[in-house]
Amino acid sequence: MKITIDDIRDAKGKRKLTMLTAYDYPLASLIDRAGIDMILVGDSVANVVLGLDSTTKVGMAEMLHHAKAVTRAVKSALVIGDMPYESYQVNRSESVKNAKRFIEEANCDVVKLEWFDDCLKVTEEIIKAGISVMGHIGLTPQTAQQIGGFKVQGKDAGAAQKLINQALDLERLGCFAIVLECVPDKIAAIITEKIKIPTIGIGAGGACDGQVLVAHDMLGLFERFTPKFVKKYVNLSEHILNGVKAYKQDVENGLFPAKEHTFSIKQEEIDKLKK
């Protein structure tokens, strides 16, 4: 059964919500089969898959390409298209059109956008166009330069109050959930208590209504950097490296392909070939 935004809203206070990123068919299929509530086609694809140094370097073309692969695989989870920087912060007037493309072309269920100066206006316009929006406050990687870099946000009363106000404003506009990224646990707990929609934390402590991680981080598939808030549940890089090394050795030593990997032909057919 497909998870709806009503299911996500209703879960608040009853059960913890789960969310992971996916950018392709095989991983999306596994995450869906594991019963994760929400799959985010995140712009983190820039860092963990495309080898770029900033999420601002992916655009609509890349995001739609990945989102289409994910939605082909998913049967149950709510699929969230992460709006890339250019799609609503650079080309502000194109934001509704771009949000619609995630739904109509890539079959996503909803979109997510990060907090920025004009966030409320853009969020309001997208919601008015009939598209459900997940907010994202705290550390917002697309505008990291403007908020002092990749740092925990809301560490003094003034900054924390701003985050609380942002969450209340996004709730008032009709967002169905809000990601809190790199926020002190006590501030995340206050926000979670103050709003009626679910908070989904990443580096925001255990009081949030749900948790999200970048799948490549928690599966050990991204080796360049591991943030403090990540728990690695498995080290797939090691397994992949071992598998690839074993294949190389087998090929070099004539052990692969073996008979069971090989197609045969009857000797009488070989005998008919012109000599």
Residues acting as catalytic residues: 181
Q: Quote the least distance from Cβ 200 to ligand KIV, whole Å.
A: 8
How many angstroms separate the CA atoms of 256 and 234, rounded? 28
Q: Kindly state the tokens that stand for 190.
A: 């206050």
Provide, rounded to whole angstroms, the least separation between the CB of residue 215 and ligand KIV. Answer: 9
Pick the stretch among 9-17, 39-47, 147-155, 233-241 that binds ligand KIV (CB under 6 A).
Answer: 39-47
The minimum distance between CB 42 and ligand KIV, in angstroms, equals: 3
Beta bridge mates, 179: 136, 200
Q: Which residue's CB is nearer to ligand KIV, number 1 or number 82?
A: 82
Q: 45, 58 in Cβ contact below 8 A?
A: yes
Q: Which two tokens stand for residue 42?
A: 């995140």
Binding-site residue total for ligand KIV (CB under 6 A)? 11
Q: Find the angle CA(222)-CA(226)-CA(231) to the nearest 5 degrees.
A: 95
**Residue 202 touches ligand KIV, criterion: CB under 6 A:** yes
Non-local CB neighbours of 268 within 8 Å, separated by 6+ positions:
none
Q: Shortest gap between Cβ of 137 and ligand KIV (angstroms)? A: 11
Q: What gap in Å lies between CA 102 and CA 81, rounded to an integer?
A: 6
Contacts with ligand KIV, 154-193, as mask; x by CB under 6 A: -------------------------x-x------------
Task: Point out the annotated binding site for Mg(2+).
Answer: 43, 82, 114
Distances (CA, A) of 199 to 194, 211, 263: 10, 8, 55
- The residue ranges that bind ligand KIV (CB under 6 A) are 21, 40, 42-44, 82, 179, 181, 202, 212, 214
